[in-house]
A and B are shown apart, each in its own frame.
Chain A
Amino acid sequence: MSVTVNGVAREADVEPRTLLVYFLRETLGLTGTNVGCDTTSCGSCTVLLDGESVKSCNLLAVQVDGREVTTIEGLATDGQMHPIQEAFHRNHGLQCGYCTPGMIMAAASYLRENPDPTDEHVRESLEGNLCRCTGYHNIVKSILDAAGQMSGAKA
């Protein structure tokens, strides 16, 4: 299969049963994408597929043949962190950090479609991403802050 991951074209032979998340973690060594469950519930493994968030434990690697995947490792550009990453740091949007890559990727996809969200809409958008540390309070705050920064940057 061939796939573009974080802007780099990659080719690999994979077993048909290999899930995308294990292809990323074990074949490509991109261990930023975590696994927290086996029922597509926790969202820790969220990545972007052609810009849209997907749970990489719920896709076979071969299903992304010819497409473009962005993982947490590919979110920063030119050494500059993405505004969502900066907002998570500024607002204490993470504690243990295990769900964080998935949260940030889910937020990146959501904010692209919804640049000016409300607290309630952000909460609904995170329904598929679980966190046990933060109570979500500062995650929501981080995403709203990032939305403000990103729309400010565009304006």
Chain B
Amino acid sequence: MSTIVEEPKVATEEHPVAPFLRMDRIPHIWCPTCGIGTVVKCFATALEETKVDLNKTMIVSGIGCTGRVAGYMKLDAFHTTHGRAIPFATGLKLSRPELLVTVFSGDGDLVGIGGNHFIHAARRNMDMLVILVNNFIYGMTGGQNAPTTPLGARTSTMPYGNFERPFNLPHLAASCGATYVARWTSLHTRRLTKAFKEAIQRKGFRFVEAIAPCSTLYARLNRLGTGFDLMRFYHDHSEIRHGADPADVGIGFQDKIICGKFVDEERPTFTELMNEHYTKTLGDKYVPMPPEGGLLREPVHSPEPEEAVVTGRDDS
């Protein structure tokens, strides 16, 4: 008698979001059960479903585990310096206003070293979508304390537990002026995708926080089990509360995670305010940055040489 062993089924179909990824860079560097890949999948699905012009969609990352996202997405992709993704994206957006600019980075990058840029971009209502993957810890460097680490959680630099009060990120973003603020976990894939779709279609400073497991460091240092256990925790302890006051959605250690859409309002962006203001104050003399950017292409000649003018210091 012989036993017939079935050939193991090998996935031969292309991954549904493969066209959005640099497949020549896969496998990625993220650990098994890391939540970042799931967030990327949700974002790619949102890009697909909103049918945005991918040639005009930029992705900018800083440094860290989530900082690697730009490197895997088949868009114009910028892997910049630690904390500086938002100002880099500001330069991109202002000098080619037609672009859809997305910042995709981690908690340490965006609100630790980059915190000042985060609050000022929100204050200015700079037109960009900021996706922040929050895993409560510095992953790439080995599990150090983050500005998001819940009180009492252990990290490699708070071996006796964190005693620093963490940021409540939706509250931070909303109080600085973000026009769209939502939070989901990497378990809520459909809702997270929907949040990305909505945020892509809004304008202004849009902020989506995605809570994601770091089983290699955060879960191990805090004896929270495997990635699967963390997903179960999200399942059991997430509470959806759309429209909740962002001040009330802070996250305690192994406490409930309030998810939902907290802010969704329209306010003029930096560029709109600038255009409106200069049109009002300068009238016809105002020449805005062209949507396609400030690239000087063709030789432009003035018909006649300008008349010589003499100016003094005050004629600035």
A in complex with B: no
